[in-house]
Amino acid sequence: MNIIYRSVRNHSNLNVNVLLHSAVNNRLLIYKNISICSQRINLEKKSCYDYSYKKRWYSENNSGPPSNKLPSLLPDFPVIVWPSFLKTLKNFVLFNFIIKPYLDNEFSLPDFVGASKKAVEVVSRKLAEGDVKSLDGLVTNDIISSLQKALSLMSLSQREQIAINVEDIYFSFPYQVGIIFNDEEGKDQKRFVEITMVYHTLKGLSNMRSRGEEPPLNMGMLPEYQKLISICNYRFIREFTKGVDDQWTVNLLNHFKPSDEL
């Protein structure tokens, strides 16, 4: 980076000191502390004006500040927004005719959804804090390194958008249920269940409701609400092999904001 200091005198006896920082690679120009001192004949006082300029960002394609768009945590996980009618029918069959009779007769979908919301709150807050090590036991080991890498590329403001308050979730549903049978020669057949959940959240919803307010039904079309809406996709997995006592853990997840796609 070259630093050039210039002193220029004009016809009005003005001394202008300009400190110009030029970064050639990223075309970033920063103008700071431009001091203009004016001296006039027969005046004992000297007036001095200080102007401070904020950073100006320049690039070939964008003249604004860096984007605050929320990057994908796990790019391989497709974005899911709304339920699928066919998948909903299939989920009903699997819940009631496979999982409950053969895998877990005490399984309750409402209980699972409620517990999954709390899990989303805990996991999302740890991600927002960058505390990936504390996710052990909450998410599967195979995605921890990918989450760590994604978080390292995010700004602080982007990470803050990940944190979810369970009371800000206004709509949720199981998008897809999968049953996995893993056959290994000479071993008992392993059984797993995966449930992909979708959560729609409105930041500050709990505070609104505490004041007796409710957001309008068309809030997704209103600019003042669009930036507050985010969607989370979480896929939970649990082993149901006979004799194995397992817990639900997250093996895929993503957070995104619909307004980023507008």
Does 139 lie in the same domain as 18? Answer: no
Distance CA 259, CA 70 (A): 10
Contacts of 1 (CB under 8 A, 6+ apart): 21, 22, 23
For residue 61, the model assigns a pLDDT of 44
Residue 113 falls within a domain, yes or no?
yes
Structure tokens at 24: 């050639």
Beta carbons of 193 and 178 less than 8 angstroms apart? yes
In this structure, the answer to whether residues 124 and 233 fall within a common structural domain is yes
Q: What is the pLDDT of residue 76?
A: 82
pTM flag (> 0.85): no
Say what the pLDDT of residue 230 is.
Answer: 96
236 burial (CB, 10 Å; 0-12 / 13-18 / 19+) is buried
> Are 47 and 90 members of one domain?
no
Domain-located, residue 175: yes
pLDDT value of residue 36: 35
Ranges in the chain, pLDDT < 50: 1-66
What is the span of the domain harbouring residue 14?
A: 2-51
pLDDT for res 60: 39
Q: Are residues 130 and 32 in the same domain?
A: no
Pair 15, 129 in one domain: no
Please provide the DSSP assignment of 8-69 as one string. Answer: EE-TT-EEEEEEEEEETTTTEEEE--EEEEE--TT----EEEEE----B---SS--SSPP--
Do residues 146 and 236 both lie within one domain? yes
The number of folded domains in the chain is 2
So what's the pLDDT on residue 185? 66
Enter the tokens of residue 76.
Answer: 């391989």
Q: Per the domain annotation, does 57 fall within a domain?
A: no
Same domain, yes or no: 44 and 154:
no
Residue 200 located in a structural domain: yes
Asked whether residue 28 is domain-assigned, the answer is yes
Q: What is the pLDDT of residue 186?
A: 61
What CATH number has the domain bearing residue 226? 3.10.450
Residues 159 and 232 in one domain: yes
What are 59-89's pLDDT values in tens digits? 334 444 445 788 889 988 889 999 999 999 9
Does residue 75 belong to any structural domain of this protein? no
Please indicate, yes or no, whether residues 45 and 117 belong to a single structural domain of this protein: no
Considering the domain architecture, whether residues 20 and 127 belong to the same structural domain is answered as no
Residues 91 and 203 in one domain: yes
40 and 115 part of one domain = no
